[in-house]
Amino acid sequence: MTSTHDNARSSRELVDQLKKSQIYRDYEKAFRDTTGLPLNLRPIEAFDLPHHNDPKEAPFCALMASTNQSCAACLQLQKRVEVEAQMEPKTLKCFAGLCDSAVPVRVGDNLVAFLQTGQIFLTKPNQRDFKRLTRELMNWGVQADLKRVEEAYFQTRVLEKKQFDAVLRLLTIFAQHLSSISNQLMVSAQQAEPPMVARAKVFIQQHQDEELSLRQVAGAVNTSAFYFCKMFKQATGLTFTDYLARVRIEKVKNLLINPHKRISEAAYEAGFQSLSQFNRVFRKIVGEAPTGWRDKLQRRNGLAT
């Protein structure tokens, strides 16, 4: 069973690759330019301040990040956000009333990262709100220039809930794109790997449409099934079975670009031995049924009837 530590490490590696992708860089720039809000793609268990030193960081949050007590309160909020945004977008308020939101990026059943934005008010703050805040800061013993704090506090962006909901919808759509890219990266990640594993990947690619076993692939690269299993998981982060399933699902998705290709035909051509097995694996990896995925694909391509 994969440990929590391994999941966090895999998430960090995946986020590094996603951030280098052209689609992420283009979307991040468009999002920032359009909304004026910060945006961060964060791995799981990265309990830091997600927007610290970001060019779009709210001035108030930048000030608070320099004080130990308020910084600790913000870190606690990040933990809550991660716990509560596992399955769907979640918006939480910090001690000062600012909203921070996280949108999960999932690959099938697995949570791999979060898209995070925020540092805004959903209602315009007033002097009473600020007085309550200053009392809390004083109780914490925060040493700060209250005039600067007040200026920064009232400079914070205010968005109507309807506007902010639209922002979260955009991020949810983008998270779905990142999910698809993540699956591809898990299949074709360019890692320093033993030649044996590289040869095994080529063999799997060439024979994916056949009934393929671990013992068969191990024999093709001249090693024992036990050693191959251990080295393959160590190099790819996936078991042989999971890797083969992802390769086959990518083949199915490519085949289904053809609107005349039946889903059952694509499944058998990719190497699945039964439709029930295919449907179960597709839903686990992609996060939805193949019919639903194809419907979305056809709507995007303007092919829906």
Domain containing residue 34: CATH number: 3.30.450
d(CA 167, CA 302): 24
Q: What is the pLDDT of residue 305?
A: 44
Mark whether 136 and 258 lie in a shared domain. no
Q: Helix crossing, 290-300 with 275-286: angle to 10°?
A: 60
The last residue of one of the domains, among 185, 209, 234, is: 185
In a domain, 305, yes or no: no
Domain containing residue 251: CATH number: 1.10.10.60
Whether 269 and 255 have beta carbons less than 8 Å apart is answered as yes
Confidence class of residue 274 from pLDDT cuts 50, 70 and 90? very high
Confidence class of residue 5 from pLDDT cuts 50, 70 and 90? low
Q: Quote the domain boundaries for residue 251.
A: 191-300
Domains identified in the chain, total number: 2
The last residue of one of the domains, among 151, 185, 219, is: 185
Mark whether 22 and 92 lie in a shared domain. yes
Confidence class of residue 300 from pLDDT cuts 50, 70 and 90? low
Q: What is the pLDDT of residue 187?
A: 67
pLDDT over 60 (residue 120)? yes
Whether 119 and 51 have beta carbons less than 8 Å apart is answered as yes
In a domain, 71, yes or no: yes
Q: What is the pLDDT of residue 185?
A: 77
d(CA 131, CA 120): 19
